[in-house]
């Protein structure tokens, strides 16, 4: 069993002197055999991004790996004659109307739109740094070939740095994609060394929010490692962006995880700008704890392909709420209020259909709320153990049965059935998943009461 101890948070801000200018730009080298090369250059303010793709061989068309959500058609201006975007379903293809092509270029007008259930392509910092999600640039080999390696080169503006793969590099940097892409920071934001890993924190973020966020991250990571019995491999990079919303009462919190990366984005209106605003802090804390949970639920371990998304998405919400109670971010009264409200919302959303079909039908809120409820219902069984288990400890048991690091719904229910009272809890959860009925609300309430 691997465990981690809770360390004191020590912040060491990188040197603030002006970095040396990067070397003069040169033409990108050709790709290695079996590789595609992608060069990403950050142009002058307001000029956008210049991207060059070089493929292993000429093609008539090439698929871009991630969905475009319509943004590429609006924001990408191709500079290669005869090349344009064709969208088929949720897939974007770069297609030549004439001869095959082995390279192409595009000027990308920066856009900051949050697509539903996907990574945001560009995330601006208030201090001028920009995060780029490389997955939106990735290309896919034809089905008849082995997957291409993707060699990326990043060219920042003169005097700026690039942060990628856990390192800050002044001037150009390189990285080879392992499949899902990563976030890369272009700009002058200093890096912060923490016991958990490197952090890039928007200088526009208020000091109180920055300090509380980094401290809570340290506490949450230690809490999850202790409760599950599993610690993370490696040290992730944290990207914390911040901005002000035009609507005074607006609040926007979002984030994501990739291999070795935790990305958090916070946008607030002027009404919530006071130091220590309790609404901002509670929402920020839930975001931190939710995204941290995904490092266990989707990276250290991962759901099987096609597995029910309520397991990891709703599970992360449940882990987060439990952590906020255990770490005294919220008191028990507030904890019970949140759980009661989330449970009521789940039961209301089940009127639109069972949890089993929610992902296919785009009912994402049901995945979160009802998946959270399912994890909390495991505590009704876990509380009868000696010593008792909370839901995070139960998930640790699921991980012990995850062969090759993969879990699924069947394994989750098997683990639940193996603890006292687990069969009853599993029966109620199966009704949430597959066949909600009129008596479900009473049975859910009874189980939750037995675990409080």
The candidate with the shortest Cα–Cα distance to 182, out of 252, 135, 113, 122, is: 135
CA 51 to chain centre: 24
Which residue, among 256, 278, 273, has the nearest Cα to 265 in the 3D structure?
256
Asked whether the whole model's pTM tops 0.95, one would answer: no
Picking from 288, 215, 210, the residue whose alpha carbon sits closest to that of residue 7 is 215
pLDDT band at residue 407 using 50, 70 and 90 as cut-offs: very high
* Domain made up of 195-300: CATH architecture: Orthogonal Bundle (1.10)
**Residue 452: its pLDDT value, please?**
66
Determine contact, residues 185/200, Cβ cutoff 8 Å.
Answer: yes
Q: Which structure tokens are listed for 254? A: 């979002």
Give strand ranges (E) for 14-148: 35-42, 49-59, 61-64, 76-78, 83-88, 91-96, 101-108, 122-124, 130-133, 139-140
Contact between 188 and 160 under an 8 Å Cβ cutoff? The reply is yes
What pLDDT is recorded for position 30? Answer: 63
What's the pLDDT tens digit per position in 67-123?
999 999 999 999 999 999 999 998 999 999 889 999 999 999 999 988 888 999 999
pLDDT at 1: 37
Confidence label for 29 from pLDDT (cuts 50, 70 and 90): low
- Answer yes or no: is pLDDT of 23 > 70: no
Helix (H, G, I), strand (E, B) or coil at 154: strand
DSSP state of 402: -
**% the chain with pLDDT above 90:** 81
Phi first, then psi: what are they for 417, rounded to 5°?
A: -65, -20
Contacts with 305 (C-beta within 8 Å, 6 or more apart), sequence order = none
Tokens (6 digits) for 404: 């090759």
* Per-residue pLDDT at 6: 34
Residue 215 makes CB contacts below 8 A (sequence gap 6+) with 9
Burial 322-340 (b: 16+ CB within 10 A, else e): bbbbbeebbeeeebeebbe
Contact 257, 238 (CB under 8 A): no
Domain ranges of the chain: 35-189, 195-300, 302-451
Q: Give the DSSP letter string of 369-380.
A: HHHHHHHHHHHH
**Which string of DSSP letters, residue by residue, matches 173-219?**
EEEEE-SS--EEEEE-PPEEE-SS-EEEE-TTS-HHHHHHHHHHHHH
Give the strand order in the sheet containing 191-193: 12-13, 191-193, 198-201, 237-244, 261-268, 251-258
Please report the DSSP string for 248-278 in residue order.
Answer: TT-EEEEEEEETTEEEEEEEE-GGG-STT-H
Handedness of CA 298, 68, 244, 188 (dihedral sign): positive
pLDDT at 226: 97
Residues 212 and 329: their CA atoms lie apart, in Å, by: 11
Q: Does residue 397 carry a pLDDT above 60?
A: yes
pLDDT of residue 436: 87
SS3 6: coil
Q: What are phi and psi of 346, to 5 degrees?
A: -60, -50
Mean pLDDT of the chain: 91
pLDDT tens digits, residue range 1-10? 333 333 343 3
Fold assignment, 35-189:
Immunoglobulin-like (2.60.40)
Residue 223 has a pLDDT of 98
Q: Give CA–CA dist 11/207, Å, rounded.
A: 13
DSSP, residue by residue, 8-27: PP--EEPP-SPPPPPPPP-P
Residue 25 has pLDDT above 60, yes or no: no
In this prediction, residues 311-337 reach a mean pLDDT of 97
Q: Are 371 and 318 in contact (CB under 8 A)?
A: yes
CB atoms within 10 A of CB 176: 11
Ranges 34-43, 298-307, 408-417: which has the least confidence:
298-307
Assigned token pair, 384? 């009868």
pLDDT at 3: 36
Contact (CB, 8 A) for 185 and 131: yes
């Amino acid at each position: 069993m691997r465990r981690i101890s809770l360390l004191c948070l020590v912040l060491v801000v990188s040197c603030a002197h002006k970095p040396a200018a990067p070397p003069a730009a040169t033409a990108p080298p050709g790709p290695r055999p079996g590789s595609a090369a992608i060069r990403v250059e950050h142009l002058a303010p307001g000029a956008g991004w210049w991207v060059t793709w070089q493929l292993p061989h000429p093609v008539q068309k090439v698929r871009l790996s991630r969905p475009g959500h319509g943004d590429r058609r609006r924001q990408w201006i191709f500079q290669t004659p005869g090349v344009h975007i064709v969208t088929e379903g949720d897939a974007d293809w770069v297609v030549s109307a004439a001869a095959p092509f082995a390279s192409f270029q595009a000027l990308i007008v920066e856009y900051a739109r949050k697509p539903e259930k996907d990574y945001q392509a560009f995330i601006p910092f208030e201090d001028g740094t920009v995060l780029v999600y490389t997955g939106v640039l990735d290309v896919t080999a034809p089905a008849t070939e082995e997957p291409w390696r993707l060699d990326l080169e990043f060219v920042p503006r003169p005097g700026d740095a690039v942060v990628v793969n856990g390192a800050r590099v002044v001037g150009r940097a390189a990285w080879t994609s392992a499949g899902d892409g990563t976030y890369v920071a272009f700009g002058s934001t200093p890096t912060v060394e923490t016991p958990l890993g490197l952090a890039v924190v928007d200088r526009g973020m208020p000091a109180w929010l920055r300090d509380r966020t980094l401290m809570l991250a340290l506490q949450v990571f230690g809490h999850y490692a202790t409760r599950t019995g599993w610690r993370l491999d490696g040290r992730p990079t944290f990207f914390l962006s911040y901005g002000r919303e035009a609507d005074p009462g607006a609040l926007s919190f979002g984030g994501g995880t990739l291999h070795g990366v935790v990305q958090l984005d916070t946008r607030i209106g002027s009404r919530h700008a006071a130091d220590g605003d309790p609404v901002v802090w509670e929402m920020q804390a839930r975001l931190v704890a939710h995204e941290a949970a995904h490092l266990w639920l989707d990276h250290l371990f991962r759901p099987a392909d096609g597995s029910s998304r309520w397991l990891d998405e709703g599970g992360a919400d449940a882990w987060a709420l439990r952590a906020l109670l255990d770490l005294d971010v919220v008191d028990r009264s507030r904890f019970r209020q949140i759980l009661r409200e989330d449970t009521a919302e789940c039961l209301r959303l089940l009127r639109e259909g069972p949890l089993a079909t929610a992902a296919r039908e785009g009912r994402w809120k049901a995945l979160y709320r009802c998946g959270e409820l399912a994890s909390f219902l495991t505590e009704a069984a876990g509380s009868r153990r000696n010593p008792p288990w909370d839901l995070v400890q139960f998930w640790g048991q699921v991980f012990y049965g995850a062969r090759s690091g993969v879990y699924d719904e069947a394994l989750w229910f098997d683990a639940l059935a193996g603890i006292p009272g687990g069969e009853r809890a599993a029966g109620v959860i199966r009704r949430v998943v597959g066949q909600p009925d009129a008596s479900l609300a009473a049975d859910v309430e009874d189980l939750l009461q037995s675990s409080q």
